[in-house]
Amino acid sequence: MNENDEKRAVVLLSGGLDSATVLAIARDMGFDCHAISFDYGQRHDVELAASDAVAEAFGVVEHRTVKIDLSAAGGFGHSALTDDIDVPMDRPSDEAIPETYVPARNTIFLSIALGFAEVLDARDIFIGVNAVDYSGYPDCRPEFIEAFEKLANLATAAGVEGSRPFVIHAPLVNMTKAQIITRGVELGVDYGITHSCYSPAPDGAACGHCDSCRLRAAGFETAGLPDPTRYAL
C-alpha cells in the first residue's frame, strides 16, 4: 500500500443523472476515479454512450465497461429494462416493486466492483443508489448498502488482512431528486449529457413520459433549475 491508494476509488457509472452526480461528488472528495459500467443487455445503448460522455467530462483515470451475459441464468429476466428473455415464473400481479426491478442487479454490480477495487488496491466504492425517489427497489436502501459493506470486508483478502476497510459510499441514498440535482449543478455537472429515459427515441432523445423522465423533470422543477434534457418532439 502507498499513500496514493487511499485516493483511488471505483465509481459505478450508468450514464444517468444519479451516477453522474456521484462521480462529481467522488472527484470533489479528492478521489482518483476508476469508473465501471455494465453492458447487461439494456434495451438502449444510449445509456452506455452517456456513461462514456460523463466519464470523459469528469476526467476519470479510466472507464471500463464489463459485459455480462446472464441469459444462461435467467438473465435479469423479469425486468422491463431488458427484453426478449423467457421468464420462467410469473410474478404476482399485485407486486409493489416496479416492473423495472432487475433481480439482484446491484448485488451483482457491487460484487464485480469489489473485485475490481481489490485488484486496484482501492477501498472506496461509490454507487448512486437513492431510496427516496425509488423506494420500491430493495437494493437501493441504506440497509442493503450497509449489509454489502459488511460483506465486502469479510469476503476479500484486502478486507480481512488490511488495515483499511472497504467503504461503500452511497452519498445520494437519502436525497431527493431535487437535492441531487442542486448538488450536481454546484459541482458543475452538465446534466444535458446524462441519460435517464427508459424509452428513448432512436436518436437518444428522452420520451418525457416514462417514470424516470417524470421524476427527473420534477426534480429540476422543484430545484428551480433549468432542465437541459433533450426531449423528443
Give the three cell numbers for residue 89.
415464473
Distance, in Å, from the CA atom of 41 to the CA atom of 86, rounded to the nearest integer, reads: 14
Q: Which of 227, 211, 217, 230 minimizes the C-alpha distance to 81? A: 211
Which position among 105, 123, 195, 216 is part of the footprint of a second copy (CB under 8 A)?
A: 105
Rank residues 58 and 144 by Cβ distance to a second copy and give the closer one: 144
- Provide the 3-class DSSP secondary structure of residue 125: strand
CA dist., res. 231 & res. 233, Å (int):
6
Which among 15-23, 90-98, 197-205, 224-232 is the span making contact with a second copy, rule CB under 8 A?
90-98
Chain Cα centroid distance, residue 165: 22
Q: How many residues bind a second copy (CB under 8 A)?
A: 59
Give the Cα separation of 140 and 73 in Å (integer).
Answer: 23
Among 48, 74, 207, 230, binds a second copy (CB under 8 A): 74
Q: What are φ and ψ of residue 99, in 5° steps?
A: -65, -20
Subset of residues 141 to 180 that bind a second copy, contact rule: CB under 8 A? 141, 143-144, 147-148, 150-152, 154-161
- State which of positions 211-230 bind a second copy (CB under 8 A): none
CB 194 within 8 A of CB 219: no
Q: Which is nearer to a second copy, 70 or 197 (CB)?
A: 70
Binding of residue 76 to a second copy (CB under 8 A): yes
Shortest reach from residue 43's CB to a second copy, in Å: 18
The site for a second copy (CB under 8 A) is made up of 5, 36, 64-70, 72-78, 87-89, 91, 95-97, 101, 103-108, 110-116, 118-121, 138-139, 141, 143-144, 147-148, 150-152, 154-161
